[in-house]
Amino acid sequence: MNLAELNKIAEAMVAPGKGILAADESSGTIKKRFDAIGVESTEDNRRDYREMMFRSSDAMSKCISGVILYDETIWQKAKDGTPLVDIIKKSGSIPGIKVDEGTKPLPNCPGELITIGLDKLADRLTKYYEQGARFAKWRAVIDIGAGIPTHSAIHANAHALARYAALCQAAQIVPIVEPEVLMDGDHDVDRCHAVSEWVLKETFQELYYNRVALEGIVLKPNMAVSGKKSAKKASVEEVAEKTVRMLKNCVPGAVPGIAFLSGGQSDEEATAHLDAMNKIGNLPWKLTFSYGRALQAAPQKAWSGKSENVAAAQRAFTHRAMMNGLASLGQWKQDLEKKAA
């Protein structure tokens, strides 16, 4: 393991004013997104859609540090025959790869899941590195509900994340460590804060036991937010303050940066929360974004599968990327959204 090189890539992934585009939706997930805009989820349509984003030169060169790809996408070529990874690299962005294989029910833990995909991961990582991937992603999913999460589920997922991270670093690939506490329930912000803190503490304990070098990872956590069904919604300031407190309690300063997932927040909510955290300032790590829906919802709608809409979709993508780039510097303002409308 060349830690200096891993650290250099991790630092580039959280470069000031830039964040990560999560374009690694599974075939099932992107089908749902395409169904919503009336587009058939064929291999060519998926490629055309992602190529449209990767060729958004302003967004990619100025605001996107890395792109998380799905297995299908990392091997694909653009319409003109150029490998998609080459288009990403040419823009100055780093190609990455989602390596987990989804979730399965965790035995003896009703309502809880374990992420799978460790078998043969070392072999897959070698092939992904050869294809140009320099970082990877593995998502653990923790739900909040009656009697859950249990320690069994948190520990099992934290252990799997740490084993994945160790395998990545051995393959000279920076691991994005993503323990996601879902916002689907009716819990309030304090319950999310408490569970997220528990999950992060367990995750870093397992990273330590598995000898993962923290200088060569990027953390991708959820923010401390109210559940979608909660009667009481936390304000932007409360989300920012509680999320920063949670991270300071759990995340060592050796970690180069934290790239948040959007986790079902609206485009502007995800931007506003990130901006408010960076406005707090005096943080030991860089705080940026690794958004999927919060970057892609607007361009997806604008594109709607039509080649004549590509320019409009690219403008929508560039706008969201620019807004989040400003938020990662604590320089976003609400009226910038109105100007673009």
Catalytic residue list:
178, 220
Residue 318 sits at φ, ψ, to 5 deg, of -60, -40
Q: Is the peptide bond before 149 cis (omega within 30 degrees of 0)?
A: yes
Eight-state DSSP code of residue 92: T
- Rounded Cα distance between 51 and 73, Å, is 10
A 10 A CB-CB count for 119 gives 9
**Nearest alpha-carbon partner for 60 in 27, 43, 80, 84:** 84
Contact 169, 175 (CB under 8 A): yes
User: Which positions ≥6 away from 219 have C-beta within 8 Å?
Assistant: 176, 177, 178, 251, 255, 257, 258, 259
Rg (CA), the chain: 19
**119 three-state secondary structure:** coil
A 10 A CB-CB count for 303 gives 25
* Residue 63: CA count within 13 A, CB half-sphere: 24
- Rounded Cα distance between 328 and 241, Å, is 16
Contact 180, 141 (CB under 8 A): yes
